[in-house]
Amino acid sequence: GNSVTQMEGPVTLSEEAFLTINCTYTATGYPSLFWYVQYPGEGLQLLLKATKADDKGSNKGFEATYRKETTSFHLEKGSVQVSDSAVYFCALTPGTGGFKTIFGAGTRLFVKA
């Protein structure tokens, strides 16, 4: 079946540190991949996406590359800020039709000043 696995949190970093949040997936066909972000007390917001192998999604300094050979979609940012503190969800929609989204468990990020 389809599934998403993320690294467990929380991840605690100092401001300006490099961020990596690992995400791997299992899917039939050619899924689309997403990262959503949830700030405290809010709903999820789409952060970035990639729809085919080797695509790189980017937004607000965050990047993730769709790696079919390793079935991964790791989230990276070169220099985090306190305002990046949030929960990050990796997600996929199967390539076999339909648009049900499968979410990972989420990774909480704390950034210290």
Partner 1 sequence: IAGITQAPTSQILAAGRRMTLRCTQDMRHNAMYWYRQDLGLGLRLIHYSNTAGTTGKGEVPDGYSVSRANTDDFPLTLASAVPSQTSVYFCASSDDRFPNEQYFGPGTRLTVT
Q: What is the rounded CA–CA span in Å between residue 47 and residue 58?
A: 8
Which of residues 25, 104, 109, 111 is near partner 1 by CB under 8 A? 104
Residue from 7, 13, 17, 44 binding partner 1 (CB under 8 A): 44
For residue 29, state whether it binds partner 1 (rule: CB under 8 A). Answer: no
Q: What is the largest CA-CA distance in the chain?
A: 44
The binder of partner 1 chosen from 13, 67, 103, 110 (CB under 8 A): 103
Is 112:19 a contact under the CB 8 Å cutoff? Answer: no
Counting contacts by CB under 8 A, is residue 1 touching partner 1? Answer: no
Residue closer to partner 1, measured from CB, 97 or 113 = 97
CA dist 42 and 68 (Å) reads 32
